[in-house]
Amino acid sequence: MSEKREISRRTFLNYALMGTGGFLAAGMITPMIRFAVDPLLKHSAGGDKVAVGSIDEFGAEPKRVEFKVHTKDGWYESESVLAAWVTKNDKGEVTALSPVCKHLGCTVDWNKGEHENEYFCPCHMGRYKIDGAHVLGTPPTKSLDLYETEVKDGKLYLGKIKPNPLPGVTG
């Protein structure tokens, strides 16, 4: 015996409103959480430099790396996972960009969908060029932060996060 269940228009509207509300709440809460942990990320990147791979792995195309840093704040010790987008030009100069959007702190991605050859932030359509310069007319007003870099014994090390002085560019 099959039981047919139907939902009323009111129930359907309730589900639709709950779904929309949840989606909007997630969009607002994510940047708030990033704001709350941002000082931790900055602090934890301020210690010794961390090896993220062989320098030969990197080239003109941005490559994402993740690395762990140990944080000690009074009695509290923790490990955080940070990420960077790394490029190396033909002179061997390395750039390591923070993926944290300078608008409200969402995470940018490289070369996603129709956003070819740029970093794109899906939260409010923020855009950045390959060197991290923010695209004028999109929400971010600063360029993506940079990590200090060092190459030693064939390995790339990343250190503190510092502001990227590049001005905005037209897209």
Span of 49-57, 83-91, 104-112, 141-149 interacting with ligand FES by CB under 6 A: 104-112
Sequential DSSP letters for the chain: --------HHHHHHHHHHHHHHHHHHHHHHHHHHHHHHHHHHHHTTSS-EEEEEGGG--SS-EEEEEEEEEEETTEEEEEEEEEEEEE-TT--EEEE--B-TTT--B-EES-TT-TTSEEETTTTEEE-TTSPBBTTSS--SEEEEEEEEEETTEEEEEEEEEE-PPPB--
**What are φ and ψ of residue 32, in 5° steps?**
-65, -40
Q: Which of residues 138-167 bind ligand FES (CB under 6 A)?
A: 139-140
User: How many chain residues interact with ligand FES (CB under 6 A)?
Assistant: 12
Rank residues 50 and 135 by Cβ distance to ligand FES and give the closer one: 135
101 near ligand FES, judged by CB under 6 A: yes
Told to check if 124 binds ligand FES by CB under 6 A, we report: yes
The residue from 41, 69, 86, 121 that contacts ligand FES (CB under 6 A) is: 121
Nearer to ligand FES, 52 or 146 (CB): 146
Residue 106 in contact with ligand FES, rule: CB under 6 A: yes
Residue 38 or 150: the one with the smaller Cβ distance to ligand FES is: 38
Q: How far is the CB of 91 from ligand FES (least distance, A)?
A: 31
Site of interaction with ligand FES (CB under 6 A): 31, 101, 103-106, 121, 123-124, 126, 139-140
